[in-house]
Amino acid sequence: IFLECPGITLAALRSTLQVISSPIQSLSVYDFDRSVKTLTVDLFQGAAFSTAGGTGGGGGVGLGLDSAAAGNVSIRHLQFSHSSLQQLKPNSLLPLRSHLESLSIINGKLTQVPSKAIVGLKKLMVLDLDANEIGTLEDYAFHGLHLVKLNLKSNQIERVPTNALAGLEESLAELDLSENRLRQFPTLALRQLEHLRLVRLSMNEIASLEPDDSYTRFGALSFLDLSLNNFAELYGDIFGAFPALKTLSLYNNFIEQVHRDAFVSLHELQSLDLSHNRIVYLDPDVFAANRRLHTVDLSRNHVHYVSGVFANLPVLREVFLSENNLLELTDDCFANSTGVKVLYMEHNALQRLDGEALASLANLEQLFLSHNLLEKIPVRFFEPTPELTSLALDGNALLELDERLFQRQGKLRELRLNGNRLRQIRAALFAPAADLMELHLQNNELRVVERGALSGCPQLQYVNLQDNALEELDAVFAGGPGPHTPAHSPLMAVTTHGKLISTKGEPAAPDGELAGQPAESALLSIQLSGNALRHLHAQAFRGQTSVQMVWLEHNQLRSLDRALFAETVHLEKLYLRNNSLIALEPGTFDALGRLKLLDLSRNRLSDLQPELFRRLAELEELLLAHNLLGALRANVFGALHGLRTLDLSYNNLQTLGADALQPGLPVASVNLRGCNLTRLEPGAFRGLLNLAELTLEENRLPAGELRHLDASPVRTLRLAANNFTAVREGLLDRLVSLQVLELARCAIADLPTALLQRNVNLVRLDLSENELRVLRRGSFAGLHVFKELRLHGNRLADFPHLALLNVSTLEVLTLARNQLTAIDFYKLSGLPNLRTLDLHANSITTLGGFTADTLPHLDTLDLSGNLLLALPENFFKHSVSLQRVDLSANRFGRIPNLALSEASLARLAWLNLTGNPLQRISADADQQRFPHLRELVISRTNLSIVTSKDFELYPAVQRLHLAHNRINRISPGAFVALASLQLLDLSVNELELLPKERLQGLRLLETLNLSTNSIRELDEFAQDLQKLRVLDASANQLERIHKNALRHLGALQELYLNGNRLITVASDAFRTLRALTRLDLRKNYFEYVPLRALKPLETHLQQLRLEGKG
């Protein structure tokens, strides 16, 4: 039996165990009864378990039972996860001792190892006490056990006594002490553990290993994790006590110095992780003794040279050198290391590659040189690497590639050359790469791709040439020229303007006369967007019978050859957006029977020929927006039997003819926005049985034209920005399926009472930005699923309660930017389901009508930009769901605590009081609290002092915005009540100092903004700020950064000090900022760049800004 019990109580668990008679293989208890602090024998006493070989039944197990009887309970694996267990009684596990093999108490409250409770568990092999609160280990804590695995991760252990693990000498194989507080390696406690093979000590505070005493040897230890500790130096033979190590991790320490003999005793070492350190130099012989090295990770350091470092390592397979500061690759870097298969060197500063640097790497399969400073590559650089399958050279400054460069890369499958400065691709360059499948050439300066340049790559599936400067494209892809046409045709040469011209011999063969049959191409995707293409030769896509997607957007194409797509019979998506196409010949798309999407938007098409789309039976999406279409020919879309989306927006149609969209067209969405339409002919939408969405916004349609909207299936109708001053009843009667109606900006001054009487399925109505002064009773009668009404930007002087009477389904109502002066919320009693009410930017001075149980489901209320001076005490007292209230830009002189606190708004989570003339925050001592308020915004007020009492009412606040005030003083303990605070914004105030004590207790603070104050000196930040990730102290008056000011901010990732008066920064000021990736020191008064202060950051800082002076 495998038994899982989530969220169970003690009584329920005991009852469950009493009815189970079979042995339990695994019992897992999650979120155990939080009231249980101590585990006693009662839990398992009297359980109905059988013995391991018995048949069930079994009497109860009690304290007084003898040892034989106590062994009857059969649970092999027991786990308590996320409990409040603080201790285990000595006899609590006694009934389990005969069978229990693993015990896990994870995420509990244990303060010490329950030695007396586990001492008799003879079969226990695994003990997991991960994530408890154990602070000390006692001597002989595990004596009498035969543990194989011991997990003490994520506790508070500071030291391991010499005899703490006594008794485990013959059994313990794996020990996890990571995420504790150890300051030194527990050598004395571990050295007697003869079978110990794995030790995890990551995330402690260990800075060194004890010097080798020539006696201590961990002969079986093969895995050691010391990552995320405080090592700064690896001295000679530092790992002499660990001769059997195969895996060693020193990831994310502070290592700067590595002695040439640091690893001299590690003859068995296979995997070494030194990434995320501060190493600048490595001796060429540092790995001389480590002949079995398989993987070395040195990424995220600051290594400049690796000459000889990886030489003579016969089984080396993977080398990670990314994100260093490598300047060159010399011929001895990998000499005689013939087994290397993967080499990562991206994000360095490589400027020079020795021609013989890869001479020994005959088995290299993947090489990553992205984001370096390479301008050229030696002609024979890749010649020794015939096994190369993946090569990344993107993000360099390559100007030219010799056509012999890839001469031996017959197995290359992926090649990245994007983001360089290449201007030309020679025909022979990729000819040897017969297996190439993916080629990236985007973001170069290509003006020329010679004819047949990719014809030698029959396996090529993806090619990206976007964002270059190509003006023409000939047959460059495989399958283009016939088999008897040379890949590098002597007939073709290139001008400086990126054009292909004939220079000698006979003229090029005309279309269709290339000798032989074109070879079939494997190309699936061709990206040519963002070039300067003016012309595509008829044979540009010849032979591309497999291609599915072609991007030709953002070019200068004026026409398309009728034969251009003749062979792209599997094309599904064709993007021609933003070109200069003037006309398209019938037949251009005839071969594209499988085309699903055709984007012709933003061209200069003025007419669509009748037969243009005749063969596109599977086309689903046709985009023709932003052209010059003046009229649509009859039945021009008649052959599009699969059309679902038609976008004709921003053309100059003026009139939509009755035969433009023929009956039976399966289109679901038609967009006619901005087409200067003044007339809809009768029957224009007749027979469009699938039409669900119709957009007619931004036209010049008079209201009378709505009578021709006989598209009964339409569910969404957008009519905004037309001229409906004369709207009248009956115009929308045919639209019986209508759910969304947008009538914004239509100059409607009077809404006919019966306008919507037939639209009984209406869910959303937008009448914003009109001229409405009143809404009549019954305007929305019969709308039984009506949920959203937008009336902002009208001229309503009174709340339209009669019109909204008994619209019980309404959930969203916006009345912003009207002329309302008073609101009686009693009159909203007919809106019981209202969730969002927006009343901002009116002239409201009075609120009332809160005595009745109105708006019980209101969630969001916006009253900003009105003239309110106070709120009634019973303000929305019955709106128990109200979470967000915006009171900004009113006239409150103090926070209306009585109206907003838990007595009225128990669930309030977000409150904005910006732009009120507040003088202070604190209220009387007897005020109610705001137990669920998560975000509080008090900006642009008259606030000048933050007192120690101000935020006592807001214990749950996570984000506090106090920007743009006049705060010049913060009292001691002002934020002490805000234990959950994650963001504190004090920017644009008048602070001159912020003492250390003011931020104490903010253990969860992640962002602190002190920008634009008058702070002259940064006091040492409190040790509590260990989660602070962003500190903005820009635009102050800082002159220096002291040594200890930032020392406790170990998690800081972004530091902004720009716009100050900094003259000096202490050399150790940034020493502890191991996570810092962005530092802004612009516009200060430095005479010299503070290099000593910056040195500790050089291995992990990603962005440093120093330009400009204050």
Q: What's the pLDDT band for 68 if we cut at 50, 70, 90?
A: very low
- Supply the pLDDT for residue 923: 64
Among 52-66, 310-324, 697-711, the least confident range: 52-66
- Supply the pLDDT for residue 497: 32
Q: What tokens does 757 get? A: 């009487």
347-392 pLDDT per residue, tens:
999 999 999 999 999 999 999 999 999 999 999 999 999 999 999 9
CA 1027 to chain centre: 20
- Supply the pLDDT for residue 710: 81
In this predicted structure, the answer to whether residue 305 has a pLDDT above a threshold of 70 is yes
DSSP 127-181: EE--SS------TTTTTT---SEEE--SS------TTTTTT-TTT--EEE--SS-
Contact 250, 262 (CB under 8 A): no
- Supply the pLDDT for residue 498: 34
- Supply the pLDDT for residue 72: 52
Q: What tokens does 1104 get? A: 């440093």
In angstroms, the CA 422 to CA 632 distance is: 45
In angstroms, the CA 978 to CA 960 distance is: 9
857-870 pLDDT per residue, tens:
999 999 999 999 99
Domain spans of the chain? 994-1110
- Distance separating the N- and C-terminal Cα atoms of the chain: 73
DSSP 422-460: --EE-TTTTTT-TT--EEE--SS---EE-TTTBTT-TT-
- Mean pLDDT over 1063-1079 rounds to 93
In angstroms, the CA 869 to CA 850 distance is: 17
In this predicted structure, the answer to whether residue 1098 has a pLDDT above a threshold of 90 is no
- Supply the pLDDT for residue 506: 36
| Topology classification of domain 994-1110 | 3.80.10
In angstroms, the CA 934 to CA 956 distance is: 6
Q: What tokens does 179 get? A: 């995420």
Contact 882, 906 (CB under 8 A): no
642-682 pLDDT per residue, tens:
999 999 999 999 999 999 998 899 999 999 999 999 999 99
CA 1003 to chain centre: 25
Q: What's the pLDDT band for 502 if we cut at 50, 70, 90?
A: very low
Q: Give the predicted TM-score (pTM) of the model.
A: 0.85
For residue 492, the cross-strand partners are 502
- DSSP, collapsed to helix, strand or coil, labels residue 959 as strand
Q: Which residues contact 297 (CB under 8 A, 6 or more apart)?
A: 251, 272, 273, 274, 275, 320
Q: What tokens does 465 get? A: 């040439």
399-455 pLDDT per residue, tens:
999 999 999 999 999 999 999 999 999 999 999 999 999 999 999 999 999 999 999
In angstroms, the CA 589 to CA 598 distance is: 10
Compare 683 and 577 and report the one with higher pLDDT.
577
Q: What's the pLDDT band for 214 if we cut at 50, 70, 90?
A: low
Q: What tokens does 558 get? A: 């004026």
In this predicted structure, the answer to whether residue 1020 has a pLDDT above a threshold of 50 is yes
- Supply the pLDDT for residue 905: 87
Pairing of the two strands 822-824 and 846-848:
parallel
Contact 784, 808 (CB under 8 A): no
- Supply the pLDDT for residue 511: 40
In angstroms, the CA 483 to CA 1023 distance is: 74
The pLDDT mean for the chain works out to 91
Q: What's the pLDDT band for 483 if we cut at 50, 70, 90?
A: very low
Q: What's the pLDDT band for 62 if we cut at 50, 70, 90?
A: very low
* Alpha-carbon dihedral sign for residues 1099, 1104, 1109, 1110: negative
- The HSE-up count of residue 948 (CA atoms within 13 Å, CB side) is 6
* Neighbour count for residue 170 (Cβ, 10 Å): 10
237-268 pLDDT per residue, tens:
999 999 999 999 999 998 999 999 999 999 99
In this predicted structure, the answer to whether residue 54 has a pLDDT above a threshold of 80 is no
Among 243-247, 519-523, 1056-1060, 1086-1090, the least confident range: 519-523
Rg (the chain; Cα; Å): 38
* Alpha-carbon dihedral sign for residues 50, 54, 59, 64: negative
In angstroms, the CA 157 to CA 179 distance is: 9
- Mean pLDDT over 142-151 rounds to 96
- Supply the pLDDT for residue 70: 39
- Supply the pLDDT for residue 785: 96
Q: How many helices (H) and strands (E) does the chain have?
A: 6, 64
917-953 pLDDT per residue, tens:
999 887 665 677 899 999 999 999 999 999 998 999 9
In angstroms, the CA 737 to CA 759 distance is: 7
CA proximity to 376, closest of 392, 396, 349, 361: 396
701-751 pLDDT per residue, tens:
999 999 888 877 999 999 999 999 999 999 999 999 999 999 999 999 999
Residue owning tokens 């743009």:
964
CA 532 to chain centre: 34
Q: What tokens does 647 get? A: 């976008």
- Mean pLDDT over 182-190 rounds to 94
- Supply the pLDDT for residue 46: 59
CA proximity to 936, closest of 983, 974, 979, 879: 983
- Supply the pLDDT for residue 925: 59
- Supply the pLDDT for residue 1074: 84
Contact 209, 233 (CB under 8 A): no
State the amino acid at position 152 in one-letter form: L
- Mean pLDDT over 1049-1053 rounds to 95
